[in-house]
Amino acid sequence: MLCRQCEETLPGTGCIRNGVCGKTAELSDKQDLLIGALIELASSDKRCPECDKYLVDGLFMTLSNTNFDAKRIDSVREGIIDRIGDVDIRVKDILSLDTDDDLRSLKELLLFGLKGLAAYYHHARVLGFEDGSIVGFIRKGLSSLPEALSADDLVSLNMECGEVGVRCLALLDEANTSTYGIPELTSVSTKVGTNPGILITGHDLKDLEQLLEQTKGTGIDVYTHGEMLPANSYPAFKRYDNLKGNYGGAWYAQKDEFESFNGPIIATTNCVLIPKDSYRDRLFTTGTAGVEGVKHIEDVDGRKDFSKVIDAAGSCAPPTPIERNDLTIGFGHSQVLALADRIIDAVKSGAIRRFVVMAGCDGRERSRSYYREFAEALPKDTVILTAGCAKYRFNDCDLGDIGGIPRLVDAGQCNDCYSLVVIANALADAFGTDVNGLPLSFNISWYEQKAVLVLLSLLKLGVKDIMLGPRLPGFITPNILKVLVDTFGIRANGTVPEDMVTLRIE
Ligand code: SF4
Ligand code: SF3
C-alpha cells in the first residue's frame, strides 16, 4: 500500500504497511481499486442518478477515517462494474503513469481536493440541494487523472477545484440554514444527565434530526460529539428537550470518550476509528461511514430506522461525566454580520487589532497543543474565527470579549467554513480592501481531505500567507511546495505577523 492523504501519514514514505489510522494494506488496496473504478466511471459516457451517487459517496468513503468496511467498499465497486463492465485498475497505477513526481503530486492534490468536494456535496444532496455542475466537475477532475497533463494544466484544474469548492460550501450553507434555521448564539451544556443516552458524532444533521424525532418521549437523552456539536445552535434542533448537550471533544479522543459514554454511539461520517472491544457492540455506523463487524443503519428511501440503537440504549448506564466547561457556539455569518457595525467600529477605534482564522481539523499528535498555546498567547485585542473540529484545542479557554464581541467566534463544523469566507468578504467590503488587505491572518490546522478542499478554495479566493500545520502535506513535493510558497506565501505554522506574537512548534 501507499497512502499519504492525511496529515498523520508516516513522514518521508507515507503509510506503506498499515495506516497510522488503522487502515490495513488489504483495505487500502480495495480503496485503490474503488477509486480506479470511479475514474473509469467518470471517463465513461454513462450518466444516471445512481452514477452520480457512486461518484460522490464512493469518493467520500475513501476519505480518511470514514469507511473501514472492505465489503462495503467492494459493493460500491461492484455496482459500478454492473453499469460499465469489468474494471480492474488501481488509482495508484493510474497516478504512476506520470514518472514525474511533481505531476503526480499535483494529481494527488486534485484527487484529495475532489474527495473533500464529494464529502461536502454529499451533505448538501442529503438535504435535497443539488448542483449538477459540482458532480460535473468531480467527473472532469477524476477523468483527468489518467491524462498526460502539464503542470500548468494541473495547477489550473486544482484552482478550478477550489472555485467549485466555494460554490459547494455556499450550497451546503444554504441547505443547512434553510432546512434547520439560522444558527443562534448558544451555550451548550457539557454536563451529563441521569438517563441513558445516545451519542451521535460526525457531520450529518439529517441523521440527528431523525434520531431526535425517534427518541422523543422515550426517556433517552441524545448527546452530540465531535463535529455534531454545532447542531446544538440550530433552531430546529433546540426545540427537542431530548437533545441534552455535548459529550467529549474531537474525533481522536473517541476511544476513551465512547467507552465512558456507556450508551450506544452513531457515527454518521468521518471521523470514525476502529473501535475498542469495550464499546464495539454499542457502535453503529450509517451513511458513508463503516467499520467491519460494526452494525450499519441503512437509508431506506431517505428514512433511517434507529430503533435498534434506541433499544440498545434502554439497558445502558447513563454517561460517566467528563470535566469540561460549557461551550459557546452559533456564530455563523448571520450572527456575525448582525454585529458588523460594532465590529467595524471596534476595528476603527483600535479595540480589535487583528482577526486570526484558526479553523480546520484536530488530530492526535501532542504537538497540536500548539494551537491552544497559540490561542491563549494571542494579545487581548485579537479575535479568533474558527470552524471545524480544530476548535476543540481551545474552545473551552476563557478568552473573554472585546466590548461585548466575543474573542472566539465559532462558525460551526468544517462544513460551515463558508461562513468564514462571508465574514472575511464583508469585512473587506466595509474597509474597501481585499481579504489580504485586512488585519486578518490564517493559521489553519489540517488532517483530512476536506481541509485540502478548503485550502484550495482559499487559494482560489486569493488568500495569501496561510500558515498550515502541524505538518505540511506529505504528498507535496519540494518543487510544488516552492510554487505554493512563491505564489501564495503558504508556510508551515510557527509564526504570525511580528507585531502580534511569535510562537514556534518544537
Ligand atoms: Fe496513513 Fe492517513 Fe492514509 Fe490512514 S488515511 S493510511 S493514516 S495516510
Ligand atoms: Fe474534523 Fe475529522 Fe477534519 Fe470536520 S471530524 S474537521 S478531522
pLDDT tens digits, one per residue of 323-372 = 889 999 999 999 999 999 999 999 999 999 999 999 999 999 998 999 99
Cell 444558527 locates to 183
**3-class DSSP state of 224:** strand
pLDDT score at 499: 40
Q: 151-180 and 132-144 are packed helices; what angle lies between their axes, rounded to 10 degrees?
A: 150
Report whether residue 243 contacts ligand 2, using a CB cutoff of 6 Å.
Answer: no
Q: Which three cell numbers, joined as nine digits, stand for 10?
A: 508516516
The residue whose C-alpha atom lies closest to atom 5 belonging to ligand 1 is 64
Interval between CA 444 and ligand 2 midpoint (Å): 12
pLDDT score at 86: 94
pLDDT at 501 over 90: no
Ligand 1 atom with minimal separation from the 6 CA: 2
Distances (CA, A) of 404 to 177, 235, 254, 351, 408: 25, 23, 34, 11, 11
pLDDT, tens digit, for every residue of 286-304? 999 999 999 999 999 999 9
Tell me the pLDDT band of 192, cut-offs 50, 70 and 90.
very high
**Cβ atoms of 178 and 172 closer than 8 Å:** no
Least Cα distance to 399 among 419, 376, 416, 417 occurs for 376
- Please state whether the peptide bond connecting residue 271 to the residue before it is cis, i.e. omega within 30 degrees of 0: yes
Report whether residue 115 contacts ligand 1, using a CB cutoff of 6 Å.
Answer: no
> Which has more confidence, 179 or 498?
179
pLDDT score at 491: 87
**3-class DSSP state of 430:** helix
Report whether residue 63 contacts ligand 1, using a CB cutoff of 6 Å.
Answer: no
3-state secondary structure 132-165: HHHHHHHHHHHHHCCCCCCHHHHHHHHHHHHHHH
Report whether residue 484 contacts ligand 1, using a CB cutoff of 6 Å.
Answer: no
Cα–Cα distance measured from residue 365 to residue 362, given in angstroms and rounded to the nearest whole number:
9
Count helices and strands (H / E) in the chain: 18, 20
The residue whose C-alpha atom lies closest to atom 7 belonging to ligand 2 is 361
pLDDT at 496 over 90: no
What pTM did the predictor assign? 0.96
Which of 10, 16, 20 gets mutated to test ligand 1 (max ligand atoms within 8 A of its CB)?
20
The residue-averaged pLDDT of 398-406 equals 95
Cα–Cα distance measured from residue 18 to residue 294, given in angstroms and rounded to the nearest whole number:
20
Q: What is the mean pLDDT of the chain?
A: 95
Question: Within 10 A of 457 (CB to CB), how many other CB atoms are there?
Answer: 27
pLDDT, tens digit, for every residue of 9-35? 998 899 999 999 999 999 999 999 999
Least Cα distance to 32 among 100, 94, 83, 80 occurs for 94
Report whether residue 388 contacts ligand 2, using a CB cutoff of 6 Å.
Answer: yes
% of the chain exceeding 70 in pLDDT: 97
Distance of CA 334 to the CA centre of its chain: 21
Tell me the pLDDT band of 492, cut-offs 50, 70 and 90.
confident
pLDDT score at 422: 95
Report whether residue 270 contacts ligand 2, using a CB cutoff of 6 Å.
Answer: yes
pLDDT at 428 over 90: yes
pLDDT score at 494: 54
Report whether residue 67 contacts ligand 1, using a CB cutoff of 6 Å.
Answer: no
pLDDT score at 40: 98
Q: Characterize the bridge pairing of strands 290-291 and 67-68.
A: parallel
- Ligand closest to CA 274: 1
Give the list of residues 6+ apart from residue 72 with CB closer than 8 angstroms, or none. Answer: 61, 290, 296
Q: Which three cell numbers, joined as nine digits, stand for 175?
A: 441547505
The residue-averaged pLDDT of 53-77 equals 98
pLDDT, tens digit, for every residue of 200-230? 999 999 999 999 999 999 999 999 999 999 9
Cα–Cα distance measured from residue 233 to residue 116, given in angstroms and rounded to the nearest whole number:
24
Q: Which three cell numbers, joined as nine digits, stand for 85?
A: 463492465
pLDDT score at 396: 94
What is the DSSP-derived secondary structure letter of residue 505? Answer: -
The residue-averaged pLDDT of 464-483 equals 94
- Ligand closest to CA 453: 2
Least Cα distance to 112 among 123, 102, 104, 122 occurs for 104
Residue length of the chain: 506
Least Cα distance to 297 among 288, 34, 23, 50 occurs for 288
